[in-house]
Structure 1
Amino acid sequence: MLVSFDGSAATTVKAYRADAIAKDESLTVAVPAGTKSMRVTFRMYDGNNNWYWMVDSVGVR
């Protein structure tokens, strides 16, 4: 998961490996003072196996 603020370059907040176990997670992201917008991005690298990758029920508080 990557996060960027006000159009800045994205920063990796959390990365998973192929052997990660599915579970509910809560992550805390430090938001710079004065931030007006945040973009959360998910990206998959080296997706060359026959399994699947899923993100479900994402929320921001």
Structure 2
Amino acid sequence: MESLNPTFRRLLNKVDNISHIYTDKAHCHMMRHACGYYLMNQGYNTREIQDFLGHRFPQTH
């Protein structure tokens, strides 16, 4: 497993307690996708989400 900042690991553990995901398999990229999915469901358009997540090119996701 990738080495995570202890603070981020504690955050993943809290998320696990609330959502019942398996934090031993959770990783930063999964959280990034979850954030994008949430924003999309809140009505943000794809370009806004890409900008927020730091994508340099519109083709990347």
TM-score with structure 2 setting the length: 0.18
Structure having the higher helix fraction is 2
TM-score with structure 1 setting the length: 0.18
Higher RCO structure, 1 or 2 (CA under 8 Å, sep 6+): 1
